[in-house]
Every structure is written in structure tokens, then in C-alpha cells.
Structure 1
Amino acid sequence: MAGRPKIFNEQEAVAKATEVFRDKGYDTASAEELLGAMGIGKGSFYLAFKGGKQELYVRSITQFSERFYQKLSQSLAASEDKIQLIKDFFISLAYASDCDKERGCYLGNALVQLSEKDQEIKKVTAQLLKELQSLFAKTIRRAQEKGEMNSTEDPEIIGWHLSNLWNGIHVTRRMESSPEILKSIIEMNLKILD
């Protein structure tokens, strides 16, 4: 017997669980809190997520990562001034609330806190950094070809610089909460885009 069919939307359930993980962290999010937020029972949970909480967390990071990348990619595609959009995106990190969905701190936190504990989480977060690097590099290359920036640095290296900045700012925010200091750090790093 295959069990009862699922009667819930997995993507919506994962999105609700993401909010719990985002607010509580992986280690302190309890099964009861996750099930309550998802609106499902234990039987349905283990039918859908055979790996339990760890599988749910990996799915949460993966789904969040895909949506974050898609939104940033679409914003860049629609922007008239892609380099300014990248600058604005980074500057906004200095002023983002504790864990602003739009800036990807959930992913940054996962990378910092758990990627060394779990190979699957490390794989997902590393993939995100590679996708960000690639998106930034492609954008930089096009801007250089169109004469929209003065830098002649290798677009691939600039892309890595920016993905490293994105990752590093999430670490620095844990120690320094002053938006002015964070903005100064970010602006210094963004000079490579002039």
C-alpha cells in the first residue's frame, strides 16, 4: 500500500517552513513549530519528507535559492542600468532589516552556519554562489562590451568578487549592525564597478 495521497501543496508548505527556519534557525526550529506552520500532520510530513527535518531544510534552501536567483535575474533583465541595479542591490544590504527576504540573508546564514555540518546544504549553497557569480559575470561582461563601465578587470573575477561580497556582508552583519559602516564597506568593494 502506497499510503494516503498528499492533500497539500508542497511548495507552499516548504515556503511556510522557510519562515520558521528563517526566524528560529535550523537547530532551534522544533518539529511542532514546523508542522504547525505548514498546516500538516506528522504522517503527511514524513510521507512527503522521508528525510525529516533535514530534508525539509534542504528543500527550503533550494526553493528559496531558486526564487531569490530568479527575482534578481529578472530584475537585471528588466533594468535599463544593470550596473546601478547591482550597486543598489548591495547598498540595500546595509539597510536591510534583520533578515530581509529580498536580500537573501536566509541563504547567507545557511552558508555560514550549516554548510560545513551537512554536505547537501553545502552543495545547495555553493551552487547558489556559483549562479550568482555567473549572473554577475555575464552582466559585467555585457556592460564592458557596451562601454558602460571603465573597469577592464576579468568579468569572471569581478563576478566572484561580488558573490564573495554578498556572502561576506552576511557574516559582517552578525558583528556590525551600523548601516553607515556596512554601507562604507560595500561602497569600497563596489568601486570595481566604476
Structure 2
Amino acid sequence: MAGRPKIFDEQEAVAKATEVFRDKGYDTASADELLCAMGIGKGSFYLAFKGGKQELYIRSISQFSDRFYQKLSDRLEASEDKIQFLKQFFMGLAHSSDCDKERGCYLGNALVQLSEKDDEIKKITALLLKKLQSLFAETIRNAQQSGEIHSTENPEIIGWHLSNLWNGMHVTRRMESSPEILTGILEINLKILD
């Protein structure tokens, strides 16, 4: 017996659960809040997510990570001035009063709070950082070859510098919210893109 057929879109349900996790955090998001947001009952939930809340959270981080990376990659590819796009992407971190979806704060929180507690989350977040590093490194390599930037530093190292900057800004924003201070930090770090 194959069981009852699914009557909901899992990706959509995971996206709705992600909003609850973003607002409440993993530990304080209740099962009732998650089920209500997802619009499904307990039976359907445990049929789709046999590992319960933890499996749902891992799926949420994975799906959010994939979508965040794809959107960033697509926007970077479509931009005429890729170095300027990168600068604006990073500078936007200083001016966000809320951790909105565009800036990946949900992922930053997962990196800081839970990646050391759960091996699966650690793998997902480490993969995201590596993908970001590769994307940044390729962009830098192309910009060096075309003469867009003057830096002769290894593009792989610059890529790691930028992925570390992205990750580190999420940690710093937990302690310091002044746009002026955050802008100053970013400006110093982004001089490598001149």
C-alpha cells in the first residue's frame, strides 16, 4: 500500500514554514504554528517529513539556500557591471533594518546558530559558502582579465574573502546595527574590488 497521495505542494509548504522559522527561530517555532502556516494536518506533515520538525528545518534551509544562490547568481549574470553589482550587494547589508529575504539573513542565522549543532545543516551552509566563493572568484577572475579591477590578488582568495565578509556581516549585525559603522566595515573590505 503506497499510502494516501499528497494533496499539497511540498516546496510551497516548506517556503511557508521558512517564514515561521525566520520569524520565530528554530527552537521557538511550535508545531501548531508550522502546521497552520503550511496549511496541512499532522498526518500529512509526518507522511512528508518523517523526521518531524528537524527534517522540515533542514529542508527549509536547503531550499532557501538554493533559491538565494540561484537568485544572486541570475542577478549577477544579468548585470552589466558585475563588480558594481557585487559592491551594491554587500553595501545593502549595511542598510537593511530587517533581515529580509533578499539579504540571506535566514541563512546567516543558520550559519551562526545551528551549523555546529547539526551535521546536515553544517553541510548545507558549508556548501552555500563554497558556492558563493566560487561565484565571487569567477567574477573577480573575469574582471581582472578584462581590466575592470586592478587587484592582482588570487581570485580564489578574494572569493573566500567575500564569502567570509558575507558570513561575517550577519554575525556583526547581531551586535551592531548602525548603518554608518557597517558601511565603514564594508567599504574597507570592498577596497579589494577597486
Superposition TM-score tier, normalisation by shorter sequence: over 0.9
- How much does 1:88 deviate? 0.2
Match of 1:3 in 2: 3
Amino acid at match of 1:88: Q
Query: Distance between the aligned counterparts of 1:30 and 1:151, measured in 2?
Result: 49
- How much does 1:2 deviate? 2.5
**Structure 2 gap segments, 5+ residues each:** none
- How much does 1:98 deviate? 2.0
Query: Distance between the aligned counterparts of 2:173 and 2:98, measured in 1?
Result: 9
Structure 1 residues 34-53: aligned runs within 5 Å: 34-53=34-53
Match of 2:107 in 1: 107
Q: RMSD of the TM alignment (CA)? A: 0.6
Query: Distance between the aligned counterparts of 1:90 and 1:7, measured in 2?
Result: 40
Match of 1:136 in 2: 136
Query: Distance between the aligned counterparts of 1:186 and 1:106, measured in 2?
Result: 20
Structure 1 residues 40-189: aligned runs within 5 Å: 40-189=40-189
Secondary structure class of the residue paired with 1:167: helix
**Structure 1 gap segments, 5+ residues each:** none
- Segments of 4+ moved more than 3 angstroms: none
Secondary structure class of the residue paired with 1:116: coil
Structure 1 residues 3-22: aligned runs within 5 Å: 3-22=3-22
- How much does 1:177 deviate? 0.7
Query: Distance between the aligned counterparts of 2:48 and 2:97, measured in 1?
Result: 33
Secondary structure class of the residue paired with 1:26: coil
What are the Cα deviations for residues 87-131 of structure 1, in whole angstroms up to 9, with x where unaligned? Answer: 000000001132110010100100000001100000000000000
Secondary structure class of the residue paired with 1:107: helix
Amino acid at match of 2:132: L
Query: Distance between the aligned counterparts of 2:53 and 2:104, measured in 1?
Result: 21
Amino acid at match of 1:77: E
- How much does 1:10 deviate? 0.3
Secondary structure class of the residue paired with 1:7: coil
Amino acid at match of 2:184: S
User: Alignment identity in percent?
Assistant: 84
- How much does 1:3 deviate? 1.8
The alignment of Structure 1 onto Structure 2 pairs a total of residues equal to 194
Q: Structure 1 length as normaliser, TM-score? A: 0.99
